[in-house]
Amino acid sequence: MSFTSLGLSDALLKAVSKQGYTQPSPIQQKAIPLILERKDILASAQTGTGKTAGFTLPMLQILSQQPFLRNRPVRALVLTPTRELAAQVYENVKEYGAFLDLKSAVIFGGVNQNSQVASLRSGVDILIATPGRLLDLHNQNLLSLSGIQMLVLDEADRMLDMGFLRDIKKIMSLMPPRRQNLLFSATFSREIKALANEILNHPVLVEATPENTTVEKINQKVYHLDKSHKTQVLIKLISDGAWEQVLVFTRTKHGANNLTKKLINHQVSALAIHGNKSQGARTNALQGFKDGTVRVLVATDIAARGLDIPLLPHVVNFELPNIPEDYVHRIGRTGRAGASGEAISLVGADERAYLKDIERLIGMQIPTATVADFVPDPNVQADEERPPRPTRYQGFKSGSAHPSNRNSSSNNRGPKRSAPKRPDSRRR
Ligand code: AMP
């Protein structure tokens, strides 16, 4: 199938070909015609599937075909969970809309609002925003949502995980009820289905997993190790494999900082990206990683969520995530666009229960490997030391603890009991 057969205008086809895309991805093939027909959609798609173009291209087409309004009220709103994702969607909107007379703006927290307010004042057709800053500016009467006719909730599952449900509902109440709604989510938990029921109007279900990033197709390996050997093994893997670009996940911000320091001490260029870093530092780290000046980007789940890092060859789980779905999000960053990818997990004795949960979720056993000289001490028992309880959702807005954090006391360091399974959130 070609982009031409999707019914896109010449200006959009030109922009797409400028990006070097030769054919639409599965999610684009399915979603674009439906959105052009003005249907509401509920789409199951993770980062890496081409979902952004999947909603942006038809949105641009629809808006560009409408009569020009002099005051340019915001007509389309894209809500995202993180600033990074907002910035990326904004970049994509500008690229795909390069040959159209439409204006877009991005607003997110953590930075001074002045330049965002200035761009809103000059009139914006498409606004990309994180919920908090959007409400903040709305409360200051600096923007109006009364002209919205199209709403996109991007990575809706993560927005709920981060406690944005109340904000989302508030934002809904500020928009005209008659509008087109597009909800994108990597998982379909009960909470997402409830949100979809509330927001979407006779939605069409669109499902697409990235063709070459399904977990089965990624070269996954587990190294069982003593925790104290992880840094050395990581450095060895990087240097023996001559890896030039590797994304490493840690569970905590502190862990990310620590590991980054150790890598730098071993002359491996590295930068950390997490929620405590300023927006500027995060943008610079990502840029350095993309242009090759930074070899290792050490990230926490929240910070890395939605980052568009094309053709990433190596992902390392320095620590396994305690939420099995995050494993799939993490490794989904490798092997994009036909490139082969490798996802390696360094697993200490205290993380074996997490590994079991992950293997249950993805429905396969991940092959194990060893590094000579770093064979784990068989005397270290799996349950000898439990990792601390999750910290990732702390610090965000209250009201939506992650499902796997529920039913457990906050200080539970005892043997892990499997979190209640959410079979409906498994990826298909
Ligand atoms: P997304 O899932 O929207 O984050 O997109 C992931 C990556 O795929 C981005 O780097 C896009 O530029 C790229 N991309 C989107 N659509 C296509 C396409 N049809 N062909 C090739 N690459 C694409």
Query: Is beta strand 342-347 parallel, antiparallel or unpaired with respect to 368-369?
Result: unpaired
Measure CA of the first residue to CA of the last residue in the chain; give whole Å. 23
Nearest to 56 by CA among 81, 84, 25: 25
Q: For residue 182, list its beta bridge partners.
A: 41, 152
Average pLDDT over residues 29-56: 92
Q: Whose CA is nearest to atom 23 of ligand 1?
A: 50
- pLDDT, tens digit, for every residue of 242-298? 898 999 999 999 999 999 999 999 999 999 988 787 777 877 888 888 888 999 999
% of the chain exceeding 70 in pLDDT = 82
**For ligand 1, atom 14: residue with the closest CA:** 50
| Ligand 1 environment, Cβ below 6 A | 21, 24-25, 28, 47-53, 308, 310, 337
pLDDT of res. 265: 95
Query: CA 340, CA 186: separation in Å to the nearest integer?
Result: 22
Q: Report whether pLDDT(155) > 70.
A: yes
d(CA 59, CA 19): 18
Dist. CA 302 → ligand 1 center (Å): 21
Determine the pLDDT at residue 26: 87
The residue type of 201 is: N
Contact assessment for residue 330 and residue 304, using Cβ atoms and an 8 Å cutoff: yes
| pTM of the entire predicted model | 0.61
Worst-scoring range by mean pLDDT, 99-103, 231-235, 364-368, 419-423? 419-423
